[in-house]
Chain A
Amino acid sequence: MKIQRRGLLISSALVAASLMMPLAAAAATPKDQLVIATNMSSMRGLDPNEINQLEAAEIVANLYERLIVLPADDITKPAPGVAESWSVSPDGKTFTFKIRSGIKFHSGNPLTAKDVEWSLRRLVKLGLAPSVDLRQWGLTDKNVDDLIKASDDTTVVLQTPEVWNPNLILYSLASFSTSILDSKLLAEHDKGGDLGREFLQTNDAGSGPYALRTWRVNDLLIADANKDYWQGAPKMRRVVLRHMPESSGQRLQLEAGDVDVATRLSSTDLTAVEAGGKADIQKTPGFGFYYLALNQKDEILSNPKVREAFRYLIDYDGLANTVMKYYGIKQQTIIPAGLPGASEVNPYKLDIEKAKQLLTEAGYPNGFSKVYYATPVTPEYEVAQSLQANAAEAGIKLDLQGGDHIGKFRTREFEIFSARSGERLPDPHAVLQSYATNANNSDDAKLTGLNAWRTAWDVPKDIQDMVTAAAHETDQQKRADLYAKINKAYLESSSPLITSFLRTDAKAVRKEVKGYIGHSTWLTRWDTVSKGE
C-alpha cells in the first residue's frame, strides 16, 4: 500500500514537471503570419451589408474590395479601387464608374459591373444599420433599381435624386458597407430569398487580398492570403485574429511576442507597453466625439447660461494628460480636426468660479440636482466621474448612474447623458447632420438617429440651413468657407451637445511589424504589412 501511495505521488510529480517543460523555441510569431489580439465579443457576422462595428469592418475591408479606396495616409482623397476611373455629370447627379477588368473573386468567378450593381442594391434593400451609407443620399428600396445600373460588363452608373457634394458619394463608396460581393456565388447560396445573408455569416464572397478560412466566434479568425490578388500576393501568408477580452492578457502576449498587434488595451497597459519599448502606440483619429448631452426638455438644463456653465466644469487639460492620453484629442468645436472648416480654437478650460457665476446669473445660485447616465467603460466613466466631482464644487449634484442607457437617450428619457459617437465618413457633414440638424423637434417625429433630436435641441435655423447648403455645395472652396462659419456658429450657440475630445483609437504594434496603418474609417489593410528584423 505504501508503495502504491508513493507511486501516486511520484507520478503526479512527474506529470506536473512534464507540464512545466519549457517550450522548445522562444515565443515569436512566424515571419509570414500576422497575429492580432482583439476583442470579438461585439462582432456580429461578416456580412458587409449588415455589420456596424470596428473589428468586423477591418476584416471585411480585407476580404472584399470597393469601387473607391481612401488611402490611410490621406483619407480625404478618393483613389481608384475596383473602379479604375469615374466621372461626374455636369449637373452633379450622375456618377459613371469604369470597372477594372481581370479581377476575380475567391470563388474564381470574374468581378463584373453586374456584381457591383447587385451589391449596392443589396445594401439598400436589406436596409440594415450600414445602409445609411447610401440611403442618406436619397436612395431607397423603391428607387434603387432605377438609380444604380450596370450599363455593360465594365460600366456602372449611379444617380442621386438630389445634387450632393460629389465627395460625399465617393467617400460612401469607399465604406466597408459598399463592398463588392460575388453575386453568382450568393445566388447559389440563397436561402428563401435572403440574398445569401445566412451564407455570409460564416463565409466570404469577396475578391480582396485575403480569403476567410476559419472563423470561430469569440475565439479565432484565420484568413489566408489570396495568391492571385490582382495587386500581387500579400507578404503575410496568414492573418490570425485572436479573441482576448482581457487587456492585461493582450499586453503580456504582445510583450512576449506571441501577438504582433494588440487592439484593446487599457490606458494603464498602453502606458506600460510604450515604456517597454517593444511596440509603438498608434493613435488613429476617428470622426467621433466624447460628448455630453443636456436634455432640453428640462427647464433648468435648457437655460443657455446653465449650458455654458457645464462647459467650464470639464477638466479638459487634466483628462488629456491622464485617462484620455490615448483615447482622445482635446477639441471643443464640432468639425473634426483635419476636415474642411476645422478650427484649432479651444476657448474653454476648467473654471469652477466662472461656472458658479453663470449659474447665479441663470438664477440657480445654490445649484440643483440631476440624474446623470454614463456607460461604465474606460475611459467614458472616468470622464463622467471627473465631471461629477467638478459639478459638485459648483453646487450641482449629479447622481451618476452607470449602465447601458443608450435606449433612454434615443427616447429622450434622461436628464444628462454622456457617451462617445463614431462616424465613418471623412466629411464634416457626417458629424453635423447628427449634431446640428433636427428638422422636427416634436416627440412624435422620432428622429432617433440624430443626437440633436435625442437631446431635444431645436437647432437654430441658420445653422441647420447652412448644414444643408454645405452638403449640396459642389464648389470645394465655398464649402470649406461655409463649414468654417458653421463651426463658429455652433460654438457660439452654446449647444447642449458639448464636445470635449475627438475620439482616437489606440493600437499597440510591435516594432518589427511594418505597414500596419490604422485607418480612420475602419479599413486598416493587411496586404501592406511586412515584418522586418
Chain B
Amino acid sequence: MSISQTSGAASGGAVAALDAVKKVATSFSVILTTLLGLLIITFVVGRMVPANPVIAVIGDQADQATYERVHKEMGLDQPLYIQFATYLGNVAQLNFGQSHVTKNPVASDLARVFPATLELATLATIIGAGLGIPLGIISAVRKGTWVDHLARVVGLLGHSTPIFWLGTIVILVFYAKFGLIPGSGRLDVYNEGLVEGPTNSILVDAIIAGEWEVFRDALLHVAAPALILGYAAMAYLSRMSRSFMLEQLRQEYVLTAKAKGLGQRAIVWRHAFRNIRVQLLTIVALAYCGLLDGTVLIETVFAWPGLGQYLTSALFFADMNAILGSVLLIGIISIVINLLSDIAYRFLDPRTR
C-alpha cells in the first residue's frame, strides 16, 4: 500500500488516528487477500476431487438427457473461471449457494452445524488452558523434580496419543463396559427435540429454556469428547507455558528480585507470569483455532454433528458449495480469533502501543 506522508504540522492526535486507520486498512486488505487465496485453492482442489457431483445427485442409473440437464443446472457446463466468478459474486452477497447433498442453503447448514463444534472446541479450550497453563508453570518452577517429570510425561502422552484411538478406547471402556458416560451424539433420545434454538448450542439453549434435565444430558454427552480434545490441548499448552516460564526465570530481573528478598511465589505470579501473559494468549488462541477446525476425527468417533463431520461428508460427495462455505467459515474464524488476540495483545503489552 502506498502511504501518503502526513505533514509534520499535523497534530499528534491526527497522526495517531491516521495511523490507526492505516493499520486497519492494511489488516483488512491482508484479510481479503487471504480469504481470496483460500477460496481459489479450495475451489481448485475441490474440482480435482475424483467424485462426480452430477452422478451424486441423479444416481448411477440415470440416462444421458437427465445427466446433461442437471450438469447444466449446476452450472458445470461453464468454464472454470466463470464458475468461480459466479461463486464469488454470490459470496459477496453472503449467499454460499445450495448444498447438493442436503438441499439446504449452505449458510443455514453451517448455522446449524457450527455451534456444535464451537461448543465442543470452547469447552476443550477451557479445559486445556485451565489445566495446561498451571501445570506448565508449576513444572517450570519445580524444574527437575518429580513434579516436573510427571507433568512432562502427562504432556508427552497427550501429545503423542492419536485422538481417534483415545476416543474409541474411552467409548469402549467408559460407555460400553461400565456405562459411566452416555454414547455418541449430543443428547439421549428422550431429550431430543425438547429444546430447539435459538443458538443451536444445546447447552446454551437448555439454559435459556430452563430445561435442566436436557442441560445435564447435553453436558454428559459433551464431557468425553471435550475432555479428550482438552487433554490434547493441555499437552500442548503445558509444554509451551513451561518453556515460556523457564525463559522468564532466567532473566536478570528475577535475580534482582531474589536479591531483594522477594519470595518465589511473588516472583513467579506477580512478575514472571505478567510477562508471559501475552505469549500465553497467543498460544491459547492458536490452540482454539486448531480445535475449531481439527475436530473432524473426534466428531466422527462420537457421531458429533458438527462442522468437521459436515465438511467430511461434503468432500466425500464433491459438494462444492458446502466445501467452499465450510472452508471460508473456518478461514474467517481463524482470522477473527487472530484479530481478537492481536487486540488483546496491544491491550496487555504496553510496548506494542
Contacts and interface: CB of A to CB of B under 8 A. Distances in A.
B191 to A, nearest CB: 11
Interface string B101-113: 1111000010011
A508 to B, nearest CB: 15
Interface in B113-158: 113, 130-131, 134, 138
Contacts of A29: 189
Interface stretch (A167-175, A179-187, A237-245): A237-245
B61 A249 contact: no
Contact of A256 (B57, B176, B196): B176
B179 A249 contact: no
Report which residue of A12, A202, A220 has the largest number of chain B beta carbons within 10 angstroms of its beta carbon: A220
Interface stretch (B203-211, B281-289, B300-308, B338-346): B300-308
A202 B66 contact: no
Interface string B160-192: 000000001001101110111111111011101
B61 A23 contact: no
A531 B57 CA distance: 37
B102 A246 contact: no
Contact of A218 (B64, B130, B172, B313): B313
A27 B305 contact: no
Given A12-B130, A44-B57, A52-B58, A218 B309 contact: yes
Contacts of A1: 265, 269
Nearest to A224: B193
Nearest to B200: A216
Nearest to A22: B180
Contacts of B109: 217
Report which residue of B301, B303, B316 has the largest number of chain A beta carbons within 10 angstroms of its beta carbon: B303
Interface in A203-259: 213-214, 216-220, 222, 240, 242-246, 248-249, 252-253, 255-256, 258
Report which residue of A5, A43, A222, A448 has the largest number of chain B beta carbons within 10 angstroms of its beta carbon: A448
Interface in B50-96: 50-52, 55-64, 66-67, 69
A217 B102 contact: yes
B179 A449 contact: no
Report which residue of A1, A26, A421 has the largest number of chain B beta carbons within 10 angstroms of its beta carbon: A1
B38 to A, nearest CB: 24
Nearest to A37: B303
A16 B227 CA distance: 9
A275 interface: no
A19 B63 contact: no
Contacts of A447: 63-64
B317 A240 contact: no
A346 interface: no
A274 to B, nearest CB: 17
A129 interface: yes
Nearest to A33: B189
A136 to B, nearest CB: 10
A95 B279 CA distance: 79
B145 to A, nearest CB: 16
Majority SS at the chain A contact face = loop
B310 A255 contact: no
B239 interface: no
Given A19-B227, A252-B175, A2 B265 contact: yes
A112 to B, nearest CB: 29
B184 A244 contact: yes
Interface magnitude class on chain B = 35 or more
Contacts of B182: 23, 27, 258
Interface in B233-265: 265
Contact of B192 (A5, A43, A220, A243): A220
B134 A8 contact: yes
A1 B183 CA distance: 40
A242 B303 contact: yes
B220 interface: yes
A469 interface: no
Given A249-B183, A249-B184, A30 B59 contact: no
A140 B293 CA distance: 48
B64 A446 contact: yes
A491 B337 CA distance: 65
Given A12-B131, A44-B102, A245 B181 contact: no
A19 B64 contact: no
B58 A129 contact: yes
A246 B301 contact: yes
Contacts of A242: 185, 189, 303
Interface string A1-21: 110010010001000100111
Nearest to B65: A127
A330 B97 CA distance: 45
Interface string A255-274: 11010000000000000000
Interface magnitude class on chain A = 35 or more
A389 interface: no
A35 interface: yes
Contacts of A220: 185, 192, 305
Contact of A243 (B101, B181, B183, B305): B305
Interface string B322-347: 00000000000000000000000000
Nearest to A430: B61
Contacts of A213: 193
A217 B138 CA distance: 46
Given A2-B265, A16-B227, A27 B303 contact: no
B59 to A, nearest CB: 4
A354 interface: no
A220 to B, nearest CB: 6
A404 B51 contact: yes
A35 B303 contact: no
A87 interface: no
Contacts of A449: 61-64
B348 interface: no
B267 to A, nearest CB: 11
A96 to B, nearest CB: 30
Contacts of A258: 182-183, 188-189
B219 interface: yes
Nearest to A34: B189
Contact of A253 (B57, B102, B112, B184): B184
A485 interface: no
A129 B57 CA distance: 8
A41 interface: yes
A26 B190 CA distance: 13
A252 B130 CA distance: 32
Interface string A375-408: 0000000000000000000000000000111110
A256 B175 CA distance: 8
B51 to A, nearest CB: 4
A129 B193 CA distance: 32
Nearest to B99: A217
Contact of B58 (A19, A128, A214, A243): A128
Given A220-B192, A406-B60, A447-B64, 6 more contacts: A27-B183, A30-B189, A53-B59, A219-B186, A244-B185, A403-B50
27 contacts: A2-B265, A20-B174, A22-B178, A23-B179, A41-B101, A41-B313, A41-B317, A42-B317, A44-B100, A44-B101, A53-B59, A129-B59, A132-B63, A219-B112, A242-B185, A243-B305, A244-B185, A245-B303, A246-B303, A249-B171, A249-B184, A249-B303, A258-B188, A410-B67, A447-B64, A449-B62, A449-B64
Please give me the 5 A-B residue pairs with the lowest Cβ-Cβ distance, nearest first: A219-B305, A52-B59, A19-B223, A45-B103, A41-B313
